[in-house]
Amino acid sequence: MLEWKWAYSLEILPRLLSAAVNTLIAAGIGYLIALVVGLVFALLQRTGVRPVTFIVREIVEFIRSTPLVVQIFFVFYVGPQFGIRLSPWASGMIAIGLHYASYLSEVYRAGLDNVPKGQWEACKALNLNPVKTYFRIIIPQAIPPSLPAMGNYLISIFKDTPMLSVIGVAELVHTATTIGTETYRYVEPYTLVGLIFLAISLPAAFGLRRFEAWVARYFGMTK
Amino acid sequence: MQSYLEYLDQHGSRFLDGTLITIQQTIIAGLLAIAISLVVGLMKLSSHKVIRWPAIGYIEFFRGTSLLVQLYWIFFVLPLFGITFEKFTAGFIAVGLNLGAYGAELVRGSIQSVPRGQYEAALALNMSPYKRMKRIIFPQALLIMLPPWGNLLIELLKGTALVSLIAVADLMFEAKQINGSTFLSAESFGTALIIYYLMARLVISPAMRAFEKYWAKKMGRFANHA
């Protein structure tokens, strides 16, 4: 029967915590990419140009219905085949950013669709150009109702970062596996990784619920 | 194009083997996830703390950590407690337990969104709690939860790709092996991605939509009303 070694746990904890920082950085960068690219995906689907709408729609569907881990491998290994060498970090961020961009584009889409028609008509009546219409009038109104869903994907992206371990990004799971192979003890590293995830994602989920309530109050939305 | 056909000719059977394993994993993990979400989802609705709290703990735990961490924990750590699973078993258990937690929230949410009047009417008709759930509440809740279940099953299919990391020879695993021996990465991972996509778009989505339509009809509503 196994025993839990406290001394060993304390010894590996600093390494795991610094890996946790990497995990958070990865989640943050991936999320930023997803926020921007997701908006681009959403806006491209509203251009009204049939081929563009169709192609972007299919790309989003494709990315959403295939496993992230395969996409990570794809981005990492396909580049070199054509002479483009990407670091594990770069390919990981591209893969995870694009994956979540396709999810976020759906969130934006729903948000944009929910802006009342009168707002569009008012913009037209005031002769605002499309850029002004979107960035001054429509998007600011589309964002608040979308915030809860956007927050959920931030937590999801955080929980999906362990997949980056498959191409050697030194995040939590990768570090735990490295420690495990060095010392032949897997109980403490993997258990601690699980606990670190809980320690971050549970408060984050709680904070998100508070934030949702605040958003609803602040923007005067009734649920 | 020619070379890709040759590639498929050479490695197609391995992709097929992998796909079959992925399908098995998806079906078994899916059944497990459905069973868990029904039990845990109903438990979370219980008015008894002793029943409700384990359900909350289960959901928060499995939704709070990563599927990959859970999979590694089940496969590498549990054996040290004397519980050893074969890798295939460990794979679908991890995927099923994880997606079951998400499913439980769907079950809970949809049951709660059945209008209160339905409960009251069933109560007024003196139905037993079991009959109330089985005959009145659940059929209506099912109508509400089916569309998100379609998405969840696609997430489940995607989740099974992780079992390749504990060396279950699924589609992802075969793609990785073929890539390792041929160095044709675009072909290997691209083919795997396309197969996953086809399974999601041509099997899971239409099947779920058909079931939604069937159920809506059975419930006597218009499909687009749901």
Reported as a single tens digit per residue, the pLDDT across A178-221 is: 999 999 888 999 999 999 999 999 999 999 989 888 888 887 76
Contact assignment for B185 to A78 by CB distance below 8 Å: yes
In a domain, A3, yes or no: no
CA atoms within 13 A on the CB side of B28: 15
Domain that holds residue A137: 25-218
- Pick the closest to residue B95 from B25, B146, B41 (CA basis): B25
In a domain, A6, yes or no: no
- Domain ranges, ordered by start, for chain B: 2-225
In a domain, A5, yes or no: no
User: At B81, phi and psi to the nearest 5?
Assistant: -95, 5
Place of tokens 């089940």: B74
Best mutation target, B25, B183, B193, B195, to test chain A (most A CBs within 10 A): B193
B189 touches chain A (CB under 8 A): yes
- ipTM (interface predicted TM): 0.90
In a domain, A4, yes or no: no
The pLDDT value recorded for residue A2 is 67
Reported as a single tens digit per residue, the pLDDT across A128-179 is: 999 999 989 998 888 888 898 999 999 999 999 999 999 999 999 999 999 9
In a domain, A173, yes or no: yes
In a domain, A145, yes or no: yes
Reported as a single tens digit per residue, the pLDDT across B66-112 is: 999 999 999 999 988 889 999 999 999 999 999 999 999 999 999 99
CATH number of the domain residue A208 falls in: 1.10.3720.10
What fold, for B2-225?
Answer: MetI-like fold (1.10.3720)
Residue B221's pLDDT band (cuts 50, 70, 90): low
CA dist A199 and A144 (Å) reads 27
Residue A49 CB partners (closer than 8 Å, separation 6+): none
CA atoms within 13 A on the CB side of A63: 24
Rounded to 10 deg, the angle between the B2-44 and B185-198 helix axes is 50
More confident residue, B2 or A39: A39
- Pick the closest to residue A212 from A152, A130, A126 (CA basis): A152
Among the partner-chain residues A61, A74, A190, the one whose CB lies closest to the CB of B73 is A190
CA dist A162 and A23 (Å) reads 8
With contacts defined as CB-CB under 8 Å, which chain B residues touch A165? 68
In a domain, A38, yes or no: yes
CA dist B159 and B98 (Å) reads 9
Which of A199-203, B181-185, B197-201, B218-222 shows the lowest mean pLDDT across its residues? B218-222
Do the beta carbons of residue A35 and residue A218 sit within 8 Å? no
Query: Which chain A residues have any C-beta within 8 angstroms of a chain B C-beta?
Result: 1-2, 61-62, 64-71, 73-74, 77-78, 80-82, 159-163, 165-166, 172-173, 176-177, 180, 186-187, 190-191, 193-194, 197-198, 201-202, 205
User: At A115, phi and psi to the nearest 5?
Assistant: -70, 125
In chain B, count of helices (H) and strands (E)?
10, 0
* Closest Cα in chain B, distance from residue A163 (Å): 7
CA dist B32 and B148 (Å) reads 17
Positive/negative CA dihedral, B178, B181, B185, B186: negative
The number of folded domains in chain A is 1
Asked if residue B154 has pLDDT above 80, the reply is: yes
Query: Which structure tokens are listed for A176?
Result: 């735990």
Return the SS3 of B121.
Answer: helix
Among the partner-chain residues A66, A78, A173, the one whose CB lies closest to the CB of B69 is A173
